[in-house]
Structure 1
Amino acid sequence: MKYKGPVARHYPTAPWTDDDSGSAVTNGLMPALRPIWDVHLRDTMICLGGDGNYYMTGTTGDNWSAFNDGIELYASSDLKTWRYLGLVWSIERDGTWEKNWTMRDGVPFRTIWASEIHFISDNYYICHCVSGVGMGVLKSTSGKPEGPYVHVIQDGPINKGGIDATLFQDDDGRVYFTYGGAVQIREVKHDFSGFAGDWQPVEYDMPAHAPDPDRPASAAKGVLGFEGATLFKAGGRYYLGCCEFIGGRYSFMFATSDNLLGPYRGRHEGPPGGGGGNVFRDKNGRWWQTYFCNDKQMPFREKPGLAAIDFDANGHIVLSKDQPFVGKAWKA
């Protein structure tokens, strides 16, 4: 892990060098975003809860690529001031299949990645994954965001090896599960006791695209991206997003459709460097995209950030002219 901060770390860390160069800012691609809180958190995910508060989670822990304790949660009433709600789900205390240590890149590995909290049908659900093992969904037994949480849908991991699970509730109340590169979607039973049907393939109608030179192994035909699936609806359209490197930036690539399963068209890069997280609407109707800044072009790294977004005439996601969480003025 790389590290940049005021407190010395007691395990080996890689040199920081220019890992927060801010070149995307100086090149005019994005505003000089600042973190919304000074905490080490990747895959930032924020949702509006039923009580009017916002809840944030993600991948936490200073050595997240090897181990962490579980799922941590933060709360805010205004997206500006956050408070720590604690470790709401512990691998040791609450885990089942997640407790097993595995090997990854030659070192022991046991860590929860890409946690997502969702408020669905008056309750809170958390998706999570363990790389190389699979994904899970948790349900609050108290109806409160801090839990306690238990496994639902199934006891063991969903789709062995899958990562970046996410949930989506459609306008009719039906709930769907997808993950990774969003190549398939599956409906969840209304009580989360299992899946309501088989996996359904997602259809894409888009030209082949060349992989980024910094990621030559990237998928290059008929897909959005390779990980970090997110799904939401705006203006009557379904939006699917997946992470991909483009111009060295780790960004969400988005596409839209009139139907849940596609075909999805209009592949475009969302706010530059805004890959891994989600898009949500606040209680005043304004749209936001989360950031955690995963590449060297960003103004900070691996901390939670927020960018205000709009939708252009083509339905593409673009940065708003007004950006509350910036270090200096921004002209879109």
Structure 2
Amino acid sequence: MKLFSLITLLIVIKTLAFANTNRPIADTVEHGTVLFDTDGNPINAHGPGVMYHKGVYYLFGEIKNGKTWLVPGQNWEDYRVPAGGISCYSSTDLKNWKYRGIALKPVVNDPDNDLDTGRVIERPKVIYNQHTKKFVMWMHIDKNDYNYSRGGVATSDSPEGPYQYQGSIKPNDQMLRDMTLFKDEDGKAYLIYSSEDNNTMHVCLLSNDYLKPTTTYVRILENKKRESPTIFKNKGKYYLITSGCSGWSPNAALYAVADNIMGPWEEQGNPCKGPDSGVTFFSQGAFVLPVADRPGKYIFMGDVWNKTDLEKSAYLWLPLSINDGIIEVYYP
């Protein structure tokens, strides 16, 4: 799903009730203000993912600059901006973010290239492979009509990049659209993505080097029309939050739970609670961030899309709690 808009950038990092302390992970940012990096520039990292490595959080996201246009001939509001590549920011406190540069650069005037500015480069996620010593980025690669539907992969020797593009693939000859990436405690990694024209989710085991999909995969949430997956693990259980498919307009998030990442998955309700929970507080989930050294504490990271001016799209970060296996996300 791509969503409705708020005019200004909104990020909330609400106080999380950590065990043995009432301190927030970061001071609450005032509503309605632009979030700036440490150089004083607005953060530009949409559809984000976060990797924690050696005491540092690395934030990766889509760079959205330039004029928004509506792709003609589509049966949904297919708004686009030129693909700007993938940005990287770093932080040690989840409050102060340093711009580390363009982690994956786009190319210009090469329409056959996956990374051309006329293509779609979305939802980057990065994990580290201890065996190859490589940082591996997966992302959704597409054309403006969304019929290409492939997963792209890039690698780097350092977390901030630059990342070298390795190409794209349709896992097991299936569509890959909205996606996320998950590394389990045993070192195995998985792609979770919308497939089959967004009718069904797939969970696919990656090769040991994280560079290729294997033939081990399952179909979940069949015929449910879900997208924008975000996954995390708590006390041996896997939690998957997804959005519906309603173009850039907001809808209700839903989640599912499993004892094994390959299923079976048991569908649950909407994790969002309170006013505007039926439209995920006008956001769309992009990532759930486990807070380092705070077991059981998570941040739900969402995009607040401005569909007619995507460069001005906002963010919403909220604490996510788990009580007796039930997810709850509250807007303050």
- Pick the TM interval, shorter chain: 0.5 to 0.7
Q: Distance in 2 between matches of 1:169 and 1:228?
A: 18
Taking a change above 3 Å as real, the CA distance of residues 33 and 92 of structure 1, as seen in their structure-2 partners, is same
Q: What is the Cα deviation at residue 243 of structure 1?
A: 1.2
Q: Which amino acid aligns with 1:242?
A: T
> 1:171 aligns to what SS in structure 2?
coil
Say if 2:78 is the partner of 1:70. no
> 2:264 aligns to what SS in structure 1?
coil
Instruction: Name the residue aligned to 1:236.
Output: 236
Q: What is the Cα deviation at residue 277 of structure 1?
A: 0.9
Instruction: Name the residue aligned to 1:104.
Output: none
Say if 2:318 is the partner of 1:307. yes
Q: Which amino acid aligns with 1:171?
A: E
Q: Distance in 1 between matches of 2:116 and 2:192?
A: 24
Q: What is the Cα deviation at residue 198 of structure 1?
A: 4.0
Instruction: Name the residue aligned to 2:204.
Output: 186
| 1:55 aligns with one of 58, 78, 81 | 58
Give the TM-score normalised by the residue count of structure 2. Answer: 0.67
Q: How many corresponding residue pairs? A: 263
Q: What is the Cα deviation at residue 163 of structure 1?
A: 1.6
Deviates more, 1:189-198 or 1:79-88: 189-198
Say if 2:169 is the partner of 1:157. yes
Taking a change above 3 Å as real, the CA distance of residues 41 and 149 of structure 1, as seen in their structure-2 partners, is closer
| 1:111 aligns with one of 120, 123, 133 | 120
Q: Which amino acid aligns with 1:194?
A: K
Q: Percent identity?
A: 19
Instruction: Name the residue aligned to 2:287.
Output: 278
Contact 2:46 2:64 in 1 (8 A): no
Contact 1:251 1:276 in 2 (8 A): no
Q: What is the Cα deviation at residue 56 of structure 1?
A: 1.2
Taking a change above 3 Å as real, the CA distance of residues 170 and 270 of structure 1, as seen in their structure-2 partners, is same
Q: Distance in 2 between matches of 1:75 and 1:281?
A: 16
Q: What is the Cα deviation at residue 295 of structure 1?
A: 7.5
Instruction: Name the residue aligned to 1:135.
Output: 150
Q: What value does the CA root-mean-square deviation take over the aligned residues?
A: 3.5
Taking a change above 3 Å as real, the CA distance of residues 81 and 43 of structure 1, as seen in their structure-2 partners, is same
Contact 2:179 2:192 in 1 (8 A): yes
Q: Deviations over 1:94-123 (max 9, x none)?
A: x9841457xxxxxxx323122223344364
Q: Distance in 2 between matches of 1:259 and 1:198?
A: 14
Instruction: Name the residue aligned to 2:39.
Output: none
